[in-house]
Amino acid sequence: MNPVLTKADFVRRYQRGEFGNRSPTWDTLAEYQASNYQGLIHIRNRVAAGPTWYDVPAAEVTAKWIEIVRDGVTPETLYLSAMAPTDKTIIQGEIQRTVCGLTLTYSTVKKPMRIALAEETLLAYGLGAKFTISKHLCDNSYDWLLYLLDTYDGHVVEFSTYSTCWGTLPHYNTVFWEVRKY
C-alpha cells in the first residue's frame, strides 16, 4: 500500500473507506446538507494540525461554516463528520509499531481526542501497549488495527474506542481517525 504522506491524501483515502471503520463523513457543505443528517457535527480540516470545530448542532452547521470561511479558512480545506459519542469513550490515542515494538499514547478522558490528550496523556510500550489495546478493542477492531499496523508500516494509527459499536461498519467499537506518516 502507498504511504500516507499528507493530510489531504489521507482525507481522500479515509472518505473512500480505505482505513476501515470511520465516522460518517461529508466532503462538502452541500453534500452534508443533502444528507439531512440531524446529529451533532464535527467540522474538520484537511490541513494537518488545522483548526477543528466540535459539537456543532445540525441547525447551526451552515451558519458556522459561513462564519469559518468568512474568518479566512478556505472551504476546500474543510470537511464534515458526525460527532462521535465521546461520552462513551473507553480509550483513544495513537499507536505505532517502531523498531522497539508498539508505542501507545492514549487517554481515557471522555472528550474529543485533542482535548482529552491535552488533559491526560498516558503511555504504554511493547507488551503493555498490546495488553491495553487488546483489553478494550472488540475482536473486529483489534484485528483491523493489526491489519493497519502491518499494511502501513511506520505509520501512526489514530483511534477512538467506545463502549458501544459506532461508525460506518457494523460490529466495530473503534473508529480509525487517521493513518499517517507525515
17 φ/ψ sector (left φ>0, alpha ψ -120 to 50, else beta): left
Which triple of cell numbers denotes residue 24?
A: 460518517
pLDDT the model gives residue 20: 98
The residues spanned by each domain of the chain are: 24-82, 86-180
What single DSSP character describes residue 86? G
- The Cα 94–Cα 57 span in angstroms is 28
Taking residues 17-42, report their average pLDDT: 97
State pLDDT tens for residues 54-68: 999 999 999 999 999
Taking residues 162-170, report their average pLDDT: 98
Residue in the structure block whose three cell numbers are 468568512 = 70
- Judged by DSSP in three states, 73 sits in coil
Taking residues 3-7, report their average pLDDT: 95
- Taking CA 87 as the corner, what is the angle to CA 44 and CA 60, rounded to the nearest 5 degrees? 45
pTM assigned to the model:
0.93
State pLDDT tens for residues 90-127: 999 999 999 989 999 999 999 999 999 999 999 999 99
Q: Across the chain, what does the average pLDDT equal?
A: 97
Q: How confident is the model at residue 148 (pLDDT cuts 50, 70, 90)?
A: very high
Return phi, psi of residue 49, to 5°. 65, 15
Q: Is the pLDDT of residue 138 over 90?
A: yes
Which triple of cell numbers denotes residue 12?
A: 481522500
Q: Is the pLDDT of residue 1 over 90?
A: no
107: closest CA among 125, 93, 127?
93
pLDDT the model gives residue 48: 87
